[in-house]
Structure 1
Amino acid sequence: MAGGEAARGPRESLRVGPGTAAGAGRVSEGAKGSVLILGATSLIGRATAAAFAREGYDLMLASPGGPELEHVTADVAIRTGAAVVSLELDARDTASHAGFVRRAVEAAGGELSGAVLNFGLGGDAVCAREDMSHAEEILRVNFVGAASVLGHLANYFEQRRRGFIIGVSSVAGDRGRQSNYVYGSAKAGLSAFLQGLRNRLHHAGVTVVTVKPGFIDTRLTYGKVSPKMAAAPERVGAAIVKAVKKRRSVVYVPGYWRLIMMIIKAIPEPVFKRLNL
């Protein structure tokens, strides 16, 4: 454990279910504030949580309920020494999202500093071509569910007139390709939604950052990409924290993906449609 983490002794861990009133929640003494991590059980989610904990924030970890969320919550609390609260979130159940955001704010003691939307569903690109129900599932989680939660968070931060929202999108959304156009179109929609929120919330003093990872060493890339081409999840977590500090708008991780996608987007359509990408 790093010295900075060891300096902060272990703090409380609390689980907040769908029907729980979390009025007892609070920002712990000495913490900068509370950050909500959506999709916290993923490798990127865990890395992002650890990165914010090192900056001195308490954590609200959200994902579908179950043993994995409980284990991740306990593990993050032990490893970082941060105060950690877990909340159940069903990305597909948009009707529950307003209540979810209220519970998150209550669990944070009435004030969230920021939120990171990281959940997603890669799905099976081949299956999504033939099975429209699977394609709909990919779109529902990656765009409809994400936009729903982001909309409620945007309303909260706009009224508060400070804070930050981070949306983890993907380079896959920069241009439609035959290999993953269903997933890519959902991420393209998410990137456009975040861009609109950034425009809307700028005058309210709220920072909105779009993070576009390339190949990351997670379950989505296992067996598909050479480890040399896949960046560690910790790199994404560090980039997210840096983007908040510098009030960035769009961040590619690793940074060279900005150039790669610039080249891909510049290919003329008559040429691009002939490529096997």
Structure 2
Amino acid sequence: MKNALGQPQSLLLLGGSSEIGLATARRLVQGRTRRVHLAGRPSPALTAAAAELTAMGAEVSVHDFDAAALDTHETVLGKVFAEGDIDAVLLAFGVLGDQLKDEQDPMAAAAVGQVNYLGAVTSALVSAQALRRQGHGSLIVLSSVAGERARRANFIYGSTKAGLDAFAQGLGDSLQGTGVHVMVVRPGFVRGRMTEGRPEAPMATTPEAVAEAILVGLQRGSETVWAPGALRVVMSGVRHLPRPVYRRLAV
């Protein structure tokens, strides 16, 4: 259960080596979170993440989880929840893909959708059902401003995030009154492994800054979080641009 200050004492991170996910986990462990479940594909990065959080004082469990293996999610996550109540689930996995190559390879494009959308749908539903049985908990879903309006430069990735965003909002509405809180997080361009070597977009941010926004959102019980917050206004304008005007933009 969350403590008297509303802070989660246990966390399940789906995408256990995610930079944003780990930045959030570090902040939570520095506070009141004492139990952390890292779910991801086995890798040196996942092992290092577990060691780091353990050194910070958390009790850490590592679980073999593949976002693309949809038929395993119910079993894997069921075992995690069987170990005890979880106060917060952070869905932080995703792939950017290679737009130019993926346009020419439909199966590669489908693989992006398999992870970013279908994998998120199955794991979020399993987690939401478990949280509902508990009667409490937060499900934090990392979306993206890329889902607000598809850009020709990354419409495959953007479309997966648009679908995920709509799904998470609807899931949150369906869970009203159950004690389960769903929060959608919409970061802009985040400096990190995924964007390394790519031209930096305006209002670029960091994993640490997104983590801070997530913590503030949890404390406030927010349903939608923008990182940085100014993107809320910017994307409102972008979303309502006439399509002929939008097409002329260098995006």
TM-score > 0.5, shorter chain as reference: yes
Contact kept, 8 Å, 2:189 with 2:201, in 1: the verdict is: no
What is the 5 A alignment of 1:135-154? 135-154=109-128
Q: What stretches of structure 2 of length at least 5 have no aligned partner?
A: 1-6
Residue number in structure 2 paired with 1:6: none
1:85 aligns with 2:61: yes
Inter-CA distance 32–145: structure 2 relative to 1 (3 Å threshold): closer
Work out the number of aligned pairs and report it: 244
Aligned equivalents of 1:90 and 1:242: distance in 2?
29
Q: 1:117 pairs with 65, 88, 91, which one?
A: 91
Name the amino acid aligned to 2:53.
Answer: V
Q: Which residue of 2 aligns with 1:98?
A: 74
Three-state SS of the structure 2 residue aligned to 1:156 is helix
Corresponding position of 1:34: 10
Using the size of structure 1 for normalisation, the TM-score is: 0.84
C-alpha deviations, 1:155-212, integer Å up to 9, x for none? 1112222110000010000001101000000000000010011101111021100000
1:267 is aligned to 241
Describe the SS at the equivalent of 1:111. Answer: coil
After TM superposition, the structure 1 stretch with the greater mean CA deviation from structure 2, 220-229 or 80-89, is 220-229
Contact 1:215 1:225 in 2 (8 A): no
Shift of 1:229: 4.3
- Report the CA distance between 1:61 and its aligned residue: 1.0
Q: 1:73 aligns with which of 50, 71, 90?
A: 50
SS of corresponding position for 2:212: helix
**How do 1:15-54 and structure 2 match up within 5 A?**
33-54=9-30
* Change over 3 Å in CA distance of 1:228–1:260 after alignment to 2: closer
SS in 2 for 1:203: coil
Q: Residues 38 and 126 (structure 1 numbering): CA distance in 2 closer, same or farther, change over 3 Å?
A: same
Matched, 1:159 2:133: yes
Q: Matched residues, percent identical?
A: 34
Normalised to the residue count of structure 2, the TM-score between the two structures is: 0.92
Aligned residues of 2:8 and 2:88 also touching (Cα < 8 A): no
One-letter identity of the residue aligned with 1:253: A
The one-character-per-residue Cα deviations of 1:209-247 (angstroms, maximum 9, x if unpaired) are 000000111112222234984312111112112111111
What SS does structure 1 have at the residue aligned with 2:177? helix
1:5 corresponds to which residue? none
Q: 2:3 — aligned with what?
A: none
Q: Distance between the aligned counterparts of 2:141 and 2:201, measured in 1?
A: 25
Contact 2:172 2:181 survives alignment (8 Å): yes
CA–CA distance in structure 2, aligned partners of residues 74 and 157 of structure 1: 27
What letter is aligned with 2:19?
L
Which residue identity is paired with 2:128? A
Partner of 1:134: 108
CA shift for structure 1 position 32: 5.4
Quote the RMSD (CA, aligned, Å). Answer: 1.6
Which range moved further: 150-159 or 216-225?
216-225
* Matching residue's letter, 1:165: L
d(CA) in 2 for partners of 1:272, 1:187 = 19
**Structure-2 residue corresponding to 1:24:** none
